[in-house]
Chains A and B, each alone.
Chain A
Amino acid sequence: MDSILNSFIDGLKNEKILYNRCNQCEKDFLPPAYHCPTCGNDKLEIKEAKKEGTIETFTVVHVAPTDFIEEAPYIVGIVQLNNNLRIMARIKTTQIENIRIGDKVKAAFDKNKQDVSILFFTF
């Protein structure tokens, strides 16, 4: 038995955004799942997304959880990659006030304090 999440997590270590595509209805989705959330089929492929996308929404977090207090304020966004595939990640910029929904951003990768690979987006 394997965890459906391992391929995604391993992908991040190799600086890739991996997602599932359903062989039956051809929908792309994240998080990885055992069955397609649209049609229920369990024949799924692992694909790699382009490392760019569009900001669909974002927030500037001022009141942060304990692990992130020192970093606040910071931006968390939801970015559309392709075919309605969306992912949440930090958006890093020096110009917080200039960020807009619809802006194009590029994927980048970092390690957090626990040495886990983390995706973020930048301009």
Chain B
Amino acid sequence: MKRVFVIGVGLTKFGKHEHLSTRDLFFHASKKAIADAKIDINDVDGIYFGNLSSDRFEHQAHTAAINASNFSSRNFPSTRIEDACASGGVAVAQAYLAIKSGLHDTILVGGAEKMTNLSTPEVTDVLGTCADNIFELPHGITFPGLYALMARAHMHKYGTTKEHLSMVAVKNHFNALKNPYAQFHKEITLEKAMNSVIVSDPLNLYDCSPITDGGAALILTTEEKIKNLDVTPVEIVGVGQASDSISLANRKSLTSIEANKIASKRAYNMAEITPKNIDVAEVHDCFTIAEIITTEDLGFFEEGKGGKAVEEGITSIDGDLPINTDGGLKAKGHPIGATGVAQIIELVHQIRGTAGDRQLNGVKYGLAQNMGGSGATSVVHILKEVD
């Protein structure tokens, strides 16, 4: 089996791009990734593309073929992946498999989402398609609502507080100040986070990731190919994915996400490491409670201690285990299909030493966890510095 390396990364600014569509966002991110890898588009064998719903957002499906034809007439195999908010991460996992198996040498993989052209209730409707349309949606539940249900259960069982939730938002907004690609460059106080308008009690506006346009792309290739390239490769050493019931009520637990536990265990086993080896992590903080629960699921903290870890500064950029150094979904933004790919880009920057003002020291291993729905899909990648 082949070893798989990231050799190029590209990101658009996250935020509102009034005059750009999904195809533009992916093209611009891809072009940057190709330039960063110092290759030519003709060196690419195929494209994997993560996207939730260009169908509903822009009335445009079949976007994978559009992405291929944007480059040249090379007739690439081009495949779109839809796994709710994990679409980007799963696209990377599929690209990894294509190279690992020996089928392809070099793959362009990324994701994009164009969301800001719809109103908030309309976006809520589109995202709602990721929940169960018989057992959840008829009751008027939303994604903030689903995570609010988990938040209240976690607070009740473990004593996690509203302050703990807001501290995640404060931390991630602080980290985004140093990320030029982030949607928000606005430091917030705990008081401001605590007192923002209620979305779905106990979650308020600052507990929720925003509506975002953006694209992200990577170039993956083999050990043989990197020998002739003047780049700093980062190896993907662990990949794990798992699914569960999409209906929250019917999972084993309301205070932890089983798919996260299984996906991360698979990734740790493949990488032959434990959670203690991880130097930096990108976790799917679509809502502040998701970061708290996920850091427990990934084995960083005991169940129920995720809130305390934020309070103690362990997950701050100067803490023992920095989480979401790029601002996370909360402050960097959450253009659905791009999210899982952008997480991996941050790890690549931290490992190769190109993270600018938010650069950490001595990062050897980074972990990215990308999640779909209320946790029915989880995909985990572990990246490692090349010795």
| Residues B135 and A88 in contact, CB atoms below 8 Å apart | yes
Q: Within the assembled complex, what's the spacing in Å between the Cα atoms of A86 and B135? A: 11
Report B-chain residues with C-beta under 8 Å of the C-beta of A77.
149
**At the interface, yes or no: A15 with Cβ under 8 Å from chain B?**
no
Interchain CA distance A71-B249 in the complex, whole Å = 22
Cβ of B201 and Cβ of A60 under 8 Å apart? yes
If A76-B149, A112-B138 touch, does A60 touch B200 (CB 8 Å cutoff)? Answer: yes
Of the candidates A60, A65, A118, the one whose C-beta lies within 8 Å of that of B121 is: A65
| CB of A58 within 8 Å of the partner chain | yes
> Per DSSP, are chain B's interface residues mostly helix, strand or loop, or mixed?
helix
The reply to whether A64 and B249 form a contact with Cβ atoms under 8 Å apart is: no
A78–B134 CB distance below 8 A: no
CA distance A26 to B299 in the complex (A): 32
Closest A residue to B137 by CB, please name it.
Answer: A65
Verify if A24 is at the interface (C-beta below 8 Å from B).
no
Q: Are B254 and A62 in contact (CB under 8 A)?
A: no
> Is A31 part of the binding interface, using a Cβ–Cβ cutoff of 8 Å?
yes
Residues from chain B with a CB closer than 8 A to the CB of A30 are 135, 247, 249-250
Q: Does A109 contact B (CB under 8 A)?
A: no
- Chain A residues near B138 (CB, 8 Å)? 112, 116, 118
* Interface flag for B144 (CB, 8 Å): yes
**Alpha-carbon gap, A108 to B370, bound state (A):** 38
User: By CB atoms of chain B within 10 A, which of A58, A60, A65, A77 has the most?
Assistant: A65
A-B contact pairs, 15 of them (CB 8 A): A30-B250, A31-B250, A37-B250, A57-B149, A59-B201, A64-B142, A65-B125, A65-B140, A71-B140, A76-B139, A77-B149, A86-B249, A89-B139, A101-B153, A116-B138
- Chain A interface residues toward B at CB < 8 A: 5, 8-9, 29-31, 37, 56-69, 71-72, 74, 76-78, 86-90, 101, 112, 116, 118, 120
Chain B residues with CB under 8 Å of chain A are 120-122, 124-125, 128, 132, 134-142, 144-145, 148-150, 152-153, 156, 197-203, 245, 247-250, 254
